[in-house]
């Protein structure tokens, strides 16, 4: 008796049919090209807004249709259904490639990266051990080496890895720092340890840094925040005072977490000075350069991250300023031996004791992830085609536009930039005459309402932030197709929606 029915066999064979892969692959390539053409020319809305229950019901309905037994397995019917599902998805998303997308630190990614990615995703190249993804391992090594050297780390001495996202990358580096700083915390845990250790962090560190303290058993209230200076950069003098005080009280210090740049306004910490302080106090320096790390690829902007190579660990997200699709986050260790301080475990079915040299290439030894995507494929492919020059060009245009937009805002009587930007994050408020007699709370509320109106209209996508208790509009110019004209239009759009609200 066969193990499965002939209907089941036919269903499997259809789902794995190479002819359908070719046909549907060509259809999706066409759909994506058409979609990009439309979106990149600023046609249609940026965000296709619908309330969550509406979209969830629509997605659920499609699953239910799939469950109806005796679906047709005719190729033409399947291709039609495939096209419908793809069209529905494209019509329901956030259009980051629209030049009016100036929102979060998530880029309009290089489209070709996704085509490279499709090759490793379809063939399911994964890592944990070298055997399961030899090429995936090789390309990861190649891009980590290349970027680490561009940051200034010494070839042959530094090491690194790629993981799924900046939060996980920061957690991994801080876990390593914890294990190095606290000795037996990996095996014995943090209980019964007194005095309680602390993590010292930039006052405006990304929330994932504080979360890491919560996850790692340090405690979110055990995060000591270093005040920022007038430019919202970590103040090395105050850091020195904090570390002196902690050391004098024998409080264990897991690490100092600096930022290049910090999220709210994109301020870059003075890394050489901070590194000096950390070395004097013998404290691990971690730099969250998720956003700004890629500045090292630009002659014009490299100065912003000078000193990155002095850090013990650095995080850089290729899915931010290297314009890769999510997720491709890198962790760098100045001393490559630290890679093996993150975990200290064996799994006999994974790491072959009969081939000990291979563990050096088994990603699972140093990565929180076991089965792991070939996340470097898009970056490796795009870099191999266009070189560092492409990344430099994208940093230059978006950082340059940030400056240009600031100058534009300064000239407007009804707009007020928060400060001069160092990169492509620009924070400002819209303050028309009609708000002259409004209270600060009313002005804050107006910024939020204005943003929500613009976002729901689909005219632009921008975000908001709170600084010193006040609400601001916040843009990240992270689509290299955005131009001066689009930013000029943004001001007009804000004025129009503002009129409607007031």
Of residues 325 through 384, those in contact with a copy of itself by CB under 8 A are: 325-327, 343-350, 352, 354-355, 358, 360-361, 368-373, 377, 380-384
Smallest gap from Cβ 202 to a copy of itself, in A, equals: 14
Smallest gap from Cβ 211 to a copy of itself, in A, equals: 6
- The per-residue DSSP string of 283-351 comes to --EEEE-TTTGGGGG-TTTGGGGTTGGGSSEEEEEHHHHT-PPS--EEEEESSGGGGGGS-----TTTS
Q: Which of residues 289-328 bind a copy of itself (CB under 8 A)?
A: 317, 319, 325-327
Is residue 361 packed enough to be buried (19+ CB in 10 Å), middle (13-18) or exposed (0-12)?
middle
Alpha helices in 432-480 (DSSP H): 440-457
Q: Which of residues 126-155 bind a copy of itself (CB under 8 A)?
A: 126, 128-139, 141-143, 145-146
In the structure encoding, which two tokens stand for residue 226, read together? 């270093």
Cβ pair 479, 102 in contact under 8 A = yes
In the structure encoding, which two tokens stand for residue 425, read together? 């994050």
Smallest gap from Cβ 446 to a copy of itself, in A, equals: 11
Q: Binding to a copy of itself by residue 104, rule CB under 8 A?
A: yes
Residue 317: name the closest of 329, 335, 300 by CA.
329
Going by DSSP bridges, is the β-strand pair 463-467/415-417 parallel, antiparallel, or unpaired?
A: unpaired
Smallest gap from Cβ 214 to a copy of itself, in A, equals: 5
Q: Binding to a copy of itself by residue 419, rule CB under 8 A?
A: no
Q: Which of residues 34-93 bind a copy of itself (CB under 8 A)?
A: 34-37, 40, 47-50, 52, 55-56, 58-60, 62-63, 65-69, 71, 78, 81-82, 85-86, 89-90, 92-93
Is residue 454 packed enough to be buried (19+ CB in 10 Å), middle (13-18) or exposed (0-12)?
buried
Nearest CB to a copy of itself, comparing residues 29 and 502:
29
Per-residue mark of binding to a copy of itself, 255-294 (x: CB under 8 A): --------xx------------------------------
What kind and span of H or E run contains 153?
none
Q: Which of residues 483-502 bind a copy of itself (CB under 8 A)?
A: 484
Smallest gap from Cβ 280 to a copy of itself, in A, equals: 26
Per-residue H/E/C for 259-287: EECCCCCCCECCHHHHHHHHHHCCCCEEE
Q: Which of 221, 245, 492, 499 binds a copy of itself (CB under 8 A)?
A: 221
Going by DSSP bridges, is the β-strand pair 329-333/313-317 parallel, antiparallel, or unpaired?
A: antiparallel
Nearest CB to a copy of itself, comparing residues 63 and 230:
63
Q: Binding to a copy of itself by residue 183, rule CB under 8 A?
A: no
Smallest gap from Cβ 274 to a copy of itself, in A, equals: 23
Nearest CB to a copy of itself, comparing residues 197 and 292:
197
Smallest gap from Cβ 326 to a copy of itself, in A, equals: 5
């Amino acid at each position: 008796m066969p193990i499965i029915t002939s209907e089941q066999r036919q269903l499997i064979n259809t789902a794995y049919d190479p002819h359908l892969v070719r046909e549907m692959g060509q259809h999706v390539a066409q759909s994506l090209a058409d979609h990009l053409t439309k979106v990149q020319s600023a046609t249609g809305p940026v965000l296709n807004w619908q309330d969550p229950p509406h979209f969830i019901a629509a997605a659920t309905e499609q699953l239910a249709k799939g469950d109806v037994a005796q679906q047709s397995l005719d190729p033409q019917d399947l291709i039609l259904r495939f096209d419908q599902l793809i069209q529905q998805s494209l019509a329901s998303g956030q259009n980051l490639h629209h030049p009016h997308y100036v929102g979060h630190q998530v880029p309009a990614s290089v489209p070709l990266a996704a085509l490279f990615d499709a090759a490793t995703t379809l063939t399911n190249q994964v890592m944990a051990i070298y055997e399961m993804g030899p090429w995936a391992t090789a390309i990861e090594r190649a891009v980590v080496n290349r970027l680490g050297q561009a940051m200034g780390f010494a070839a042959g001495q530094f090491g690194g890895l790629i993981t799924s996202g900046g939060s996980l990358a920061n957690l991994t580096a801080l876990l390593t720092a914890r294990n190095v700083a606290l000795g037996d915390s990996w095996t014995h845990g943090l209980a019964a340890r007194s005095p309680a250790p602390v993590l010292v962090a930039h006052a405006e560190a990304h929330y994932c840094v504080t979360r890491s303290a919560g996850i790692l058993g340090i405690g979110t209230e055990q995060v000591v925040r270093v005040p920022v200076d007038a430019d919202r950069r970590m103040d090395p003098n105050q850091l020195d005072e904090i570390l002196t005080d902690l050391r004098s009280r024998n409080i264990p210090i897991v690490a100092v977490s600096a930022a290049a740049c910090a999220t709210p306004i994109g301020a870059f910490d003075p890394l050489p000075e901070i590194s000096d302080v950390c070395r004097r106090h013998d404290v691990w320096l971690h730099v969250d350069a998720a956003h700004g790390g890629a500045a090292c690829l630009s002659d014009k902007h490299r100065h912003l991250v000078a000193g990155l190579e002095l850090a013990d660990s650095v995080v850089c997200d290729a899915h931010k300023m290297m314009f890769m699709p999510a997720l491709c986050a890198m962790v760098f260790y100045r001393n490559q031996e630290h890679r093996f301080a993150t975990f200290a475990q064996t799994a006999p079915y994974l790491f072959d004791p009969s081939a000990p040299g291979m563990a050096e290439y088994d990603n699972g030894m140093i990565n929180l992830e076991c089965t792991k995507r070939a996340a470097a494929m898009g970056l490796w492919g795009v870099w191999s085609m266009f070189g560092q020059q492409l990344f430099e060009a994208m940093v230059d245009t978006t950082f340059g536009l940030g400056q240009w937009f600031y100058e534009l805002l300064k000239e407007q009587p009804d707009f007020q930039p928060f400060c001069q930007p160092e990169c492509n994050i620009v924070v400002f408020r819209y303050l028309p005459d009609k708000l002259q007699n409004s209270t600060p709370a009313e002005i804050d509320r107006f910024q939020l309402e204005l943003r929500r109106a613009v976002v729901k209209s689909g005219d632009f996508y921008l975000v908001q932030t709170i600084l010193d208790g006040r609400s601001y509009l916040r843009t990240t110019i992270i689509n290299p197709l955005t131009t001066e004209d689009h930013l000029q239009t943004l001001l007009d759009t804000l004025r129009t929606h503002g009129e409607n609200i007031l």
